Amino acid sequence: MALKAVNVTDVPNLDQVPENNASLSLYSSRFNSEGLELNSEATFKVPKFLVIGHRGHGMNILQSSDSRMKAIKENTILSFNSAAKFPIDFIEFDVQGTVFEKRVTELSLEEFLCFGPQREAGKQGKSLLRKTKDGKILNWNVETDDSFCTLAETFQKVDPSLGFNIELKFDDHIVYQQDHLIHVLQVILQVVSEYAKDRPIIFSSFHPDAAQLVRKLQNTYPVFFLTNGGTQVYYDVRRNSLEEAIKVCMEGGLQGIVSEVKGVFGNPGAVPRIKESKLSLLTYGKLNNVPEAVCMQHLMGIDGVIVDFVQEISHAVDDMIIKPLNEGLREGDEETETKSKLQFSQQELSFLLKLIPELIQH
């Protein structure tokens, strides 16, 4: 289930959403002094290899035999602050969603908060079920539960040094009119404008029109287009490849792409094309829970990863990528960053990139 943006009856018009300064640096104490920044040309600079906690401390996969996938309820304050204990840069979470046949945006705030654990002592919440990709309905049981929250509460209660990757969630099976998309995005932007302060923020969405619209509605925060990178086929062809994702970004003035990691490993030649287009590239997917796969992406020039195993991957990145680079910088070695990315020869790296598409098919 996704977070609810805010409970409102009157949505501001386009010209009522506060304008922001495009040169504002999205600085956080978790980054170096460069921070995250949109410059005057609306390009986006990532100052380090980013580690982002998926739905906080990690996505819940209820049918998994791995207890880590059922440790803490996803998309909750507890999950977000649990992730903040580790050396990560952002948490990713969904805004919007569905409950059975009714969308979260159609629920009142009171209805939304009635599901799951309740904050009031002695109050019993409505039972929460979850539908798996194969159609099974399971009780949403985790080891450590927590109540759901609003977007505003997330800003107020989560460690302020932690950046937010806000995924704008829309139903794949619904054709949205532009007025509806604008209505939803304005509500979210109003909350962000009121509560964000200096917190680093990235917007992302699988919905190409929503991604381009949120870029038009504000010019402070970078917007990334989410794609499966060709690992699934959709009616909207803009969602079916990394090449199409580049087009969406260039046409809409977006700052980057978030791809399923298998889409990148299956098409490694797209990475230099993305970089040539001055776009940042992040990835998500199960392979991002494997330290070796994450390090390979760093070698390929990918800018960061969204992960479920927050503790394991954040420490692996810290040990294998961040610390060696920082130690070299302290010693005044200007070539440290280049050296850290060339632990393999160019010939060896080329061989590995050719091998990866074969590996992920098995």
| E strand segments, 157-279 | 163-168, 201-205, 223-227, 256-260
pLDDT above 90 as % of the chain: 52
CATH level 3 topology of 50-101+148-328: TIM Barrel (3.20.20)
Residue 142: pLDDT band with limits 50, 70, 90: confident
**Would you list the domain boundaries of the chain?**
50-101+148-328
How distant is the alpha carbon of residue 207 from its chain centre?
14
Phi first, then psi, for residue 143 (nearest 5°) are -65, -45
pLDDT in tens, 254-299: 999 999 999 999 898 899 999 999 999 999 999 999 998 999 899 8
Q: What is the mean pLDDT of the chain?
A: 80
Residue 72 DSSP symbol: B
Please give the pLDDT value at position 185: 95
Residue 63: pLDDT band with limits 50, 70, 90: confident
pLDDT in tens, 68-124: 878 899 899 999 999 999 999 999 999 976 434 455 556 566 666 676 676 666 666
Contact 247, 253 (CB under 8 A): no
Helix (H) or strand (E) holding 94: strand 90-95
Q: Does the global pTM surpass 0.85?
A: no
Please give the pLDDT value at position 136: 76
Please give the pLDDT value at position 122: 65
Helix (H) or strand (E) holding 156: helix 151-157
Higher pLDDT among residues 245 and 360, named by residue: 245
Please give the pLDDT value at position 99: 38
Residue 37: pLDDT band with limits 50, 70, 90: low
Residue 219: pLDDT band with limits 50, 70, 90: very high
